[in-house]
Structure formats: structure tokens, C-alpha cells
Amino acid sequence: MNTLIDRKTALPESYDGLVAAFTPRPIHDQVGHDNTLAIIDAMAGRDLNAEQEDYLDLLSILVEAYEGDWLHEELATLPRGVSMLQYLCVENGVSGVELGRILGVGRAQASLLLKGKRNLTVAHLRCLSKHFKVSSELFMERAG
């Protein structure tokens, strides 16, 4: 039986113990994505041994593969600003958590921005332009 790892519990010391707590599998849907991100978040910022780091690396690879597949399918349907933001994040290895730090918002709001469910503000555009060293116009829709 899989048990989610959280910030309040001690991490299993061994790779096998981590797998027993949360068995890594290819991600096929949002639930699997959310569960895997929850484990990554619970492990982030801790002093990890080599086996824990290997496990975290595997989870990160699974998330990147899912997000890469999702990204290719979704980019064509999103507004230009959102697709540019997603592209820059992927190309620069910026995770949702790191995007939140760049913008001064939480991971949840960064996720909504990446999905196009929240609009980029002027303050966001300034932060993104500075961080990625691009013009803020890159994120704006062109007049049709």
C-alpha cells in the first residue's frame, strides 16, 4: 500500500523504503502529476543521502516527461503569453516552484499562470523580463 510522504514525517533512509512509501510510475494524468509533485515538495529543502537523491531525481524525471508531453499538446491552444512562459520555463529548466519564487507567488498561483487560468500582471511581466532577459512584449498578444 502506498503512503504519501509529507513534510511532517521522516523520510525513509533507503531507496527501497522510499519506493515502498510511494512507488514511482509513469505519470498519465493530473492526479499522478499532483501526487508526484507532493512527494517532490515534501523532499525539497531537506538534507538527503545518496539514495534519497536518486529517488528524487527519478521523480523529477517522471514529472518532466509528463509535463513535456502535456506542454506539446497544450501550447497550440494557449494564448501567446502563456505559451511563451511555458516555453521559457521548459528551455531554462524552471519548475513551477521556482517560477513562484521568481514571481513572488506560491506554487499554486504559478501553476495557474502556467495553465493560463490566471493572467500575467504588469509586475509578473517585469519579473519575467528581468529573469529571462527578454522583452515583456514577448508575453503579449499581437493585434490580429
Which range of residues forms the domain containing residue 121? Answer: 78-144
Q: Do 115 and 95 sit in the same domain of this protein?
A: yes
Residue-by-residue pLDDT tens, the chain, 144 positions = 455 677 788 899 999 999 999 999 999 888 998 899 889 888 888 899 999 999 999 998 998 888 776 666 655 565 678 888 888 998 888 988 899 999 998 888 888 888 888 888 889 989 999 999 988 887 776 544
Q: Do 30 and 82 sit in the same domain of this protein?
A: no
Distance, in Å, from the CA atom of 133 to the CA atom of 9, rounded to the nearest integer, reads 40
The string over 66-79, giving b where at least 16 C-beta atoms fall within 10 Å of a residue's C-beta and e elsewhere, is bbeeebeebeeebe
Q: Do 73 and 41 sit in the same domain of this protein?
A: yes
